[in-house]
Structure 1
Amino acid sequence: MQENSKGILYAGGAYFLWGILPTYWRSVNTFNPYEILFHRVLWSAIFMVVLIVLLKKWPQFIADTRSLIGRKKELIALIAASLVIMVNWGIFIWAINNHHVLQASLGYYINPLMSIALGFIFMKERFNTLEILAIVLAAIGVLFMTLSSGTFPFISIVLAASFALYGLMKKYVNIDAIYSIALETIITLPLALIGIGYLAQLGENHFGANHTSFLILFAGVATAVPLILFTAGAKRIPLSLIGFLQYISPTLILLQGVFLFGEHFSATDFITFLCIWSGLILYSYSKYIQFKAMKRKQLLKP
């Protein structure tokens, strides 16, 4: 199989798995969302450590971690990324188990546009006309939902902003992707353990000899495997293709919200999503034009 085909398979697989995660989180909803989050961090950390040991990369992981500790700015960025992604996970799990799947889907549709907005603010990147129009359309969609329903899409914005911030923070960290994922879960592990202990004190800890506890053991696999697949895919295919494939995930979340979980897709939702979709089409087209121009330049080089 060619590298490009492998890349599409890996990245597409990652976005597919991310897209069906709502069904998994619903299957463990006898736990409250906070307990699910804490166990997600716990079992993700365990899974990543076991994976690194099985891959015989533990000595290199320790060496790279020690090196990272000496690079203070990168370490701070990784700690910030760890906390931000924990917030993202928590909001997503809460949304799925409190009948806000459509808002979660909207958040991940908005995410690419939020990322380019952060690029403008922090990385001094500049927009072209199509990208400006894409952001304006997304803003119109959010404003329309707020004015029409009287409810600001808080969940969508927090999910989009937190994941975009996570991506921004990771740009400053120069470490292998698998090691980075492991460190992120290890950094947030004390918070997860404190949370599990606190819930146990309140008598709200449901982990034990039951079916849901067995399912929650796979939270680490559900978290780490898509990230590993995405990393493998991103190395093999252009960023423009990654940008196209990423819409698999929120589309699957939207379909589950409407057809599996029975959430009402109102006229307001339709117009809001239509604005976001239009913005994403313009954004994707802009990236496609940039990619084609870059390829032409490469071909013209002597």
Structure 2
Amino acid sequence: MPQKRVSMAMVAQRAGVSGQTVSRVANDSPRVDPATRARVEQAMAELGYRPNRAARALRTGRSHTIGLVAQTLATIGNSRMLQAVAESAASRGYAVTVVTLGADGGIDDAFDRLRDQGVDGAIVLNEATALARHAASAGLRLVVVDSLPDQRFTVIGTDHAAGARTATEHLLAAGHRTVHHLAGPADSYAAAERERGWREALGDAGAPEPELVRGDWSAASGYARIGELADATALFVANDQMALGALRALADAGRRVPEDVAVIGFDDIADAAEFQPPLTTVRQDFDALGEQAVRRLVDWIDGARPDDLLLSPALVTRRSAP
């Protein structure tokens, strides 16, 4: 026998309040005393009450759903951002609709799908270049993760250049004449910022700048490109996945880490401490990025245009570059 749906009237009876008060709590109205709100929310939890999103959207003009746009969810960074965004959104009573651009980069189609589903706003991961050309016509409140500033949307991100600078300076301070760089894709904003930080650190130290070697974020590309870094004694790799491939290639070539080549990655993925040797890397806080992206988007939905935000990464030293 199907379970009877819990109604507002049942919640009101349990909490000892009017149905209108329950409605105000369900719709996040500020016109509720905090103690009363807590009593109503407790009654909702005890009875298993779930607001009718469709009905609430008709009443308030909001769907309490936000979009998340990504080129792909196959990368570790994007998948961790999705988890962080979903958890933060759920804690605020928002659902998340995810759209990926696919190989053809169909950003128009992505935003059409979001508009069709009536989202209140969207978070965009790492597709700022494409977004900037379309944001004015998107008709959505937008928070972009990793982008140059733009008046059409709010930007949050990691200070990739500062993290790369810290990694490069750490290797130079250990006595290396210079630091080689295995960079990310040329069309990636994060990769470009990490490359910029590496170049600036070398320039400020008066160290020679080796020829750049570029990968595609994958461990396979880190493995494949290590042959072009035969002269390296210190290597800054633009992400941990490529660093994993580089460590394997160095081991296969009989080059010891860190005795022959010191290696630093970027991201501090969950398994970085389990690499052989454990990877020194630059940690970016994906949980904080997801939380801040959702917080700023919800603030904007509520009527307050939020400021941009840049989070500082931190170097985590392990055995690959003590």
TM-score above 0.5, yes or no: no
More helix by share: 1
The answer to which structure, 1 or 2, has the higher relative contact order (CA under 8 A, 6+ apart) is: 1
TM-score class, shorter: under 0.3
More strand by share: 2
TM, length-normalised to structure 1: 0.22
